[in-house]
Amino acid sequence: MSMAAGYEVDWNLVRTFVSVVEAGSLAGAARSLGLAHPTVARHIQQLEAQLGVTLFERSAGGLKLNDSGARLADVALRMRQEAKTLESVGESVRSETTGRVRITIAELLAELLPEILTPLQNLPGADARYIELIVSPQRLNLLDREADLAIRHMRPDQTELICRKVGAVPMGAWASEGYLERFGEPTLASLDDHRFIDGLSTRGFTIALEQLGHKVPDSQVSFRTDSLQSQRRAAELGWGLVGIPDYLGERTPGLRKVLEDTAEGVTLDVWLVARPAMRGQQLLRLVYDTLVEGLAEAFDTPHPLAVQGAGNTTSALSA
């Protein structure tokens, strides 16, 4: 079966096809697009019907592009790139400060963002301005428009992005007053007598203690979770010492900072990153500048580094 003369292929079906090709499965494409698995399968069937060709070999092992599918995938990938270019050009000429901005951030700083962005509520257009905060340890690709802005702890490698170092987050060891009453004040010499809270997939706190010369055996880690809020709550309830940002410890009644005299303070850099469209898109610039000011103030950075991208350095207003 072939397409009727003048029939236009539905771009949504092509986008789904590209996602299946890149993900290697219907399930992976469904997660990437935020669609249901049956919807992705139906899109592929509809595209095959419109084109009059079969795109995949189907087996118990999953989907594999056939020769026709591989040829069409090359064209579809170029179509998606051209679509992104069209969207980017459209964004560059927009002057409105209303619309949606998606910000990706690790949980470490997520609690600060609502108050840092609060000044936006007092500016014109607030009723039609929407913030989406994506709290995830994964690094979303800003160049692929997975998010508009990112707050990260390392400078990105992609030179096309606009980035600015806005400060450093002080980290520390914290414990509840109840825990300290039971186990005593910790020192490096007495850590063998204490219990700890750390991550599951990463061991940031115990690794930091090892760098101070104290190896923490698994038997002393009483609570493990990758959720920062759960770690903080466990510390409140006396499970052990926890390594968290100082601003979180200071906001948590009943927690007290410990091990303050053992070494120089540990900090994590904070980088604010934006898509190149920020240079011409007033809404992104507005949110970006609000974040620069708020994060710099939160972490006592009077003169944040200037905007950087593609090897050059300029001021925020002239970027």
Per residue in 151-166, pLDDT (tens digit) is 998 888 888 899 999 9
237 vs 143 pLDDT, higher one: 237
Question: Which residue ranges does the chain devote to CATH 3.40.190.290?
Answer: 150-281+291-319
Q: What pLDDT is recorded for position 22?
A: 86
Q: What mean pLDDT value characterizes the chain? A: 84
- Closest C-alpha to 113, from 151, 152, 153, 145: 151
Task: Show the tokens assigned to 57.
Answer: 């070999």
Please name the residue that has the structure tokens 């919807």: 39
Angle 226-162-314 (CA atoms, 0-180°, nearest 5)?
135
Q: What pLDDT is recorded for position 307?
A: 43
- Closest C-alpha to 104, from 134, 82, 130: 134
Question: Which residue ranges does the chain devote to CATH 1.10.10.10?
Answer: 11-92
User: 3-state SS of 66-95?
Assistant: CHHHHHHHHHHHHHHHHHHHHHHHHHHCCC
CATH of domain 11-92: 1.10.10.10
Q: For the whole model, what pTM was predicted? A: 0.65
CATH of domain 150-281+291-319: 3.40.190.290
Residue pair 277/161 in contact (Cβ under 8 Å)? The answer is no
- Closest C-alpha to 22, from 68, 76, 59, 99: 76
